[in-house]
Amino acid sequence: MKVLMVCLGNICRSPLAHGILEKMIIENQLDWEVDSCGTSGFHNGELPDSRSIEVADKNGIDIKGQRSRQLIAEDIDAFDLIIAMDQSNYNDIRRMAQVDQHDKIEMLLNYSFPGQNRKVPDPYYDGGFERVYDMIYDACAKLLEAHN
Ligand code: 4NP
CATH for 66:
3.40.50.2300
* 99 Cα to the center of ligand 1, angstroms: 27
CB of 51 shorter than 6 A to ligand 1: no
105 contacts 80 by C-beta, under 8 angstroms: no
| Average pLDDT of span 69-81 | 98
Task: Please give the pLDDT value at position 148.
Answer: 87
Range of the domain at 122: 2-147
pTM of the model: 0.98
Residue 147 sits at φ, ψ, to 5 deg, of -110, 5
What is the residue with the minimal CA distance to atom 10 of ligand 1? 9
| Average pLDDT of span 40-57 | 98
Atom of ligand 1 nearest to the CA of 13: 4
The number of folded domains in the chain is 1
Atom of ligand 1 nearest to the CA of 7: 3
SS3 69: coil
